[in-house]
Structure formats: C-alpha cells, structure tokens
Amino acid sequence: MGKVAMSPPWYDYANKIQALFSRDPDVTVRFEDSDLTLKLMVSKIEKCEALQKLLPEKVKFGNVEMKVIIIPSNKTMNKLDLFRTAFDGNDAVTQIQEEDGVFSNPIMYIAFRKEVIQYYSDNLGDINGNKSCLMEDIAREVFRDSNNGVVLFCTDNK
C-alpha cells in the first residue's frame, strides 16, 4: 500500500474545475504549479467571456492566492446567457432556465445529469484520493463568488 499524503487545497480547486469541464470540447484546463496559475483555454470567444465573468480572477486559500486566467472578450452578456454560453456543448448540463422569483427577482436553475462524478482529491475520505459527488455540488462551489443573483444548481430528476 502506498503512502498517504495531502496536497494543498489549490490542487483540489484545480481538479474541481477540470472535473466540471472535462466533457466540454471547447475548454482545456491546465494548472501551473510553479506560479499557482489555473489556465482555461477556451476555443469560443463567447464562452471565454462567460467564464471570465463567472469565475474569480484570484482564489485565496489562507495566505496563498491562485490566479485563474481566461482569454478576455469585450462583448457584454446577461447572466443567463453567460451560463448558457459557458456550458454550451457540455453534455453534463441538461437544462438552464430562468423563472420569475419573489418581487420580480429572477431565479436561474441549472440542472446537471443525474450521475456521480469522481475526480482526484487527496482527502482523508478515500484511501485512493478520490472524491465522489454530484456536478451540482462542484458547480455550486466553483461559481459561488459569481452569484450576484439567485442561481440554483440542481440535478435533473430524469
């Protein structure tokens, strides 16, 4: 049996981003350990803009800061279009829709396929360092800083 070791939390964050976009043919995720930079290479300009507006430029882990770099674009989009563009072509997402909420505040629902995703995360819950969860849990955590409205991540019941 191998030796159990713990990696820093920025590895876990990079693995979450990789798991979230691993099925998307337009997004390639690379983590540069030397300068703590997470790079998302996106082939569609609209998707670049959406991800740039939704993901934070920097993520703090205590006194350590990781940069998130996405190719910028100047085209403006509303939040619904940003999420639709960000997840365009990603078969993990089954539905994105907006409904009227209380006092005319819109509520956005993003539904993911009903399946458990597994990615590497050297936590103490699994001796092999695997993390198992739903896509909605990953999305909720990854996009928590971009939530300047009501966005509900959920799992499709079909």
Residue 3: predicted pLDDT: 67
Cα 45 versus chain centre, distance: 18
Residue 61 confidence (pLDDT): 92
Residues in the chain predicted with pLDDT less than 50, given as ranges, are 73-74
Task: Report pLDDT for 141.
Answer: 86
* 54, amino acid identity: L
Q: What are the C-alpha distances in Å from 105 to residues 60, 98, 100, 144, 151?
A: 30, 10, 6, 18, 11
In the sheet that 27-32 helps form, which strands lie side by side, from edge to edge?
Answer: 27-32, 37-42, 64-70, 58-61
Percent of the chain at pLDDT above 90?
A: 39
pLDDT of residue 76: 60
Q: Are 112 and 135 in contact (CB under 8 A)?
A: yes
Res 146: pLDDT: 67
Instruction: Pick the closest to residue 15 from 123, 110, 112 (CA basis).
Output: 123
Q: Where are the alpha helices (DSSP H) in the chain?
A: 9-21, 45-54, 79-86, 135-142
How many helices (H) and strands (E) in the chain? 4, 9
pLDDT value of position 79: 83
Surface-to-core class of residue 44, CB atoms within 10 Å of its CB (0-12 exposed, 13-18 middle, 19+ buried) = middle
Whole-angstrom distance, CA of residue 66 vs CA of residue 112: 27
Q: What is the DSSP letter of 103?
A: G
